[in-house]
Structure formats: structure tokens, C-alpha cells
Amino acid sequence: MNAKLTALLLALTVLPAAASDLVSFPDGKPQDLNNLKAPVRIINFWGSYCKPCVKEMPEMSAWYKKQKKGSIDLIGIAIDRKENLPPFLKTTPVSYPIWHYAGKDNRSFMKNLGNSVGALPFTTVEAVKCGKKEAILGGVDSKKLDAAVQKVRAECK
């Protein structure tokens, strides 16, 4: 499959999560990725049990604080047991919103966003208006985030 067709199929992918599958933490309100408004959307999947996830979160949080307000939506989606979140986030606070995947099939959910192996951490960076996406399997840092954001923005022009 050529790159343009792959990009088109990714852009047309309907997110498989039901409204109740994604909930904000700690209030448990249903969330929808399609309601995010910034031109660039970053979704980071993590778990409290995942050492690379724990390592990347403070740097990702610091990076997010430096971004121009309204230019990027960054959401951390916990693939974890709900009861693990409060103690973990107390010791590893972040500056971006945390949601919890409360559905039954997180592998399928992540697969539809480009994570074919279902491993964590996993991050997608998308230029929303044109659907250009960059998937990153493994830990991220500010350099990787900058490069991915720059790449999807450039591909949108």
C-alpha cells in the first residue's frame, strides 16, 4: 500500500471507543478525542506499571507547558486499572489532561490509532485538519515531540 493511501485510510479511521470507553480523570466524565480543538492533537497511551511511560511523563509535561496555548492538545490515556491512577499521579503529576480507557479492548483501540503491537508507551501526533499522523512506539522526549509536530505540520502545507 502506498504512503498516500495509508495516510488517507488513517485519516478516515473512526475511533472505535464508545463514549463511555474514554473518561476524564478524576471526575469520570465521558470524553471523545474528536472534540479536541487544537490544530495538533497528541495522544499518549501509558500505564503506571510501564517504566518507559513513567520516565517520559515529566519531560512530556514540561514540553507541553512551553507550547503556545491552543496550538496543541495533549491527552494522556491511562491503560491501567482505575485504582492505580490516584497514587501514581500523586507522585508523577502532569500538566496535561489524563483520561482513562475504561473499555474492554484497549489493544483494538490502540491498533486503530496505529499501535499494531499493543505495547506502551505509544504516542500519536496528528495535524487534525489534514489527518497527517505520526505514530511513536516507545518513550518520547522533547526532541521526538518537536520533530513529530514539525513533520505533521509540514505535511499539512
Grid cell at residue 97? 489532561
Region 84-106 average pLDDT = 94
Q: Which of 16-25, 51-60, 63-72 has the lowest mean pLDDT?
A: 16-25
Q: What residues does each domain of the chain span?
A: 22-153
Q: What is the per-residue pLDDT for 117? A: 86
What is the fold of 22-153?
Answer: Glutaredoxin (3.40.30)
> What H or E segment, with its residue span, contains residue 34?
none
Look up the pTM and report it. Answer: 0.85
How far are the Cα atoms of 10, 83, 120, 128, 147 from residue 47, in angstroms, in the given order? 25, 12, 7, 25, 24
pLDDT > 90? residue 1: no
